[in-house]
Amino acid sequence: MVDLQGKNWITGPDLREALEDYGIFSHKEDVFLFLRQFDRNDDGRLQYSDFCDAFCPKDSLSAQVLN
């Protein structure tokens, strides 16, 4: 859905393009800030695990509600 080339990582432009495909139009700066916050190794790419960390609930109650 987001990683169309199957690279196991995405860049800011990849994420922005994927969001636009879903009708979400974001500013470059917002995507950059999101990427910077969740990119654990500071390589400018979101690994699959980084992406999961960004969208998975941190507390067990929220995880149970979503389940």
At CA 49, angle to CA 14 and CA 35, rounded to 5? Answer: 40
Q: Which domain holds residue 39?
A: 9-66
Domain count across the chain: 1
pTM of the model: 0.74
- Does residue 3 form part of some domain? no
**Which is nearest to 11 in space by CA: 42, 46, 51?**
46
Q: What is the overall mean pLDDT for the chain?
A: 88
Q: What is the pLDDT of residue 52?
A: 83
- Does residue 15 form part of some domain? yes
Q: What is the pLDDT of residue 67?
A: 67
> How far apart (Å, rounded) are the C-alpha atoms in residues 4 and 58?
27
**Which is nearest to 11 in space by CA: 43, 54, 41?**
43
The 10s digit of each residue's pLDDT in 11-61 is: 999 999 999 999 999 999 999 999 999 999 999 999 988 888 888 877 888
- Does residue 22 form part of some domain? yes
Question: Which domain CATH number covers 33?
Answer: 1.10.238.10
